[in-house]
Amino acid sequence: MQGYRLKSPTAVVIFLLLVSSLVILWSNPVRAAGEGSGSSVWGKDYFPNVPLISHEGRTLLFFDDLIKDKVVMINFIFTRCEDSCPLETARLREVQKILGDRVGKDVFIYSISIDPEYDTPQVLKEYTKRYDIGPGWLFLTGKEDDITLLRKKLGLYIEEIQGEDSTDHNLSLIIGNQRSGRWMRSTPFENPYVLATQIGSWLHNWKLPPKEKRNYAEAPELRQISKGEALFRTRCDACHSIGGDPTAALAKRMIGPDLLGVTKKRDPAWLNRWMAEPDKMLAEKDPLAMALLAQYRNLPMPNLRLNKVEIEALLSYIEEESRRKVPHDHSSHKH
């Protein structure tokens, strides 16, 4: 880059991040121009029509049954993945909730296993139960070679993903409208309202004239938010509420416990350690952790690789938010 001098390594990293996100933004939606028979739409000649088996035990052909003429959202997961996948699944669940009963009717969500030998239909079914996945979202397995081919064709093949310690799983979602031929890579960590809006507007692409994006109105207002709140929204919000209205929480079918007052309810040392390494505490069979696990469908909270500063920010956000929700807490039921 002649002519430009970046001052510090941090500036270089930030610069590279900016460039790569721009590349992601502007190189997509990806179009396969001239693929196959001169058509600009990825069709049957592009996608392998391989058979996949759903968590319900149905055999479905990738092109004919799953994507032909449909608006789809596809990601690749594996159920043994303990780091990013649980959060990824929880965030897509948010998108599913926003889209409501359109999922399974005019939008289809597919999570395809990249560990098909282990992820049998039975294992996938178990997984959908643990996450309380609603209808219209299929978890699929199949032959490893077929799935690798699909990942390559969808541009979501990243060599390192299979590695032991890989958390580099962040660009693993593709949204597409097979009929219009528009495909866009994204990340499950995108704001679920934005994802839902993208899918929604793509759907209408070929049905209705484009209108203003009303879903944005439901997104949180722009205001100065603390580091703790920002972290909570991206890493925790998909599984936890803080003082959520119990009926709303039920409707939302939260994955994890409501965190109202948790900083008072729990011993600080326990809480700090839980945030840093819930997986280790569960492995050590910490009694409180085990009790919570049993209460929450045996779905373990993932290790979110939080550092000390992040944990501190999160806990003070939870504390503030709890105080805001219950200004004069006279409650005497502490456990």
Q: Which residues bind ligand HEC (CB under 6 A)?
A: 86-87, 90, 235-236, 238-240, 255-257, 259, 262, 266, 271, 274-275, 278, 292-293, 296, 299-302, 304, 306, 314
User: Among 169, 27, 199, which residue's Cα sits nearest to residue 105?
Assistant: 199
Cα distance between residue 136 and residue 132, in whole Å? 12
Q: Pick between residue 248 and residue 283 the one whose CB is nearest to ligand HEC.
A: 283
Q: Pick between residue 53 and residue 293 the one whose CB is nearest to ligand HEC.
A: 293
- Dig out the tokens for 181 from the structure: 């031929």
Q: Pick between residue 67 and residue 255 the one whose CB is nearest to ligand HEC.
A: 255
Give the shortest CB-27-to-ligand HEC separation in angstroms: 29
- Dig out the tokens for 168 from the structure: 């580099």
Give the shortest CB-276-to-ligand HEC separation in angstroms: 10
- Token pair 């000390």 in the structure block, residue: 308
Residues composing the chain: 335
Give the shortest CB-131-to-ligand HEC separation in angstroms: 8
Give the shortest CB-92-to-ligand HEC separation in angstroms: 11
**Are the CB atoms for 95 and 238 separated by under 8 Å?**
no
Sign, CA torsion 75/79/82/88: positive
Q: Pick between residue 156 and residue 299 the one whose CB is nearest to ligand HEC.
A: 299
Residue type present at position 273: R
Give the shortest CB-171-to-ligand HEC separation in angstroms: 19
Q: Pick between residue 55 and residue 240 the one whose CB is nearest to ligand HEC.
A: 240
- Dig out the tokens for 266 from the structure: 């729990």
How many other β-carbons are positioned within 10 Å of the β-carbon of residue 64?
12
Sign, CA torsion 303/307/310/311: positive
Cα distance between residue 62 and residue 60, in whole Å? 6
Give the shortest CB-105-to-ligand HEC separation in angstroms: 27
Q: Pick between residue 156 and residue 239 the one whose CB is nearest to ligand HEC.
A: 239
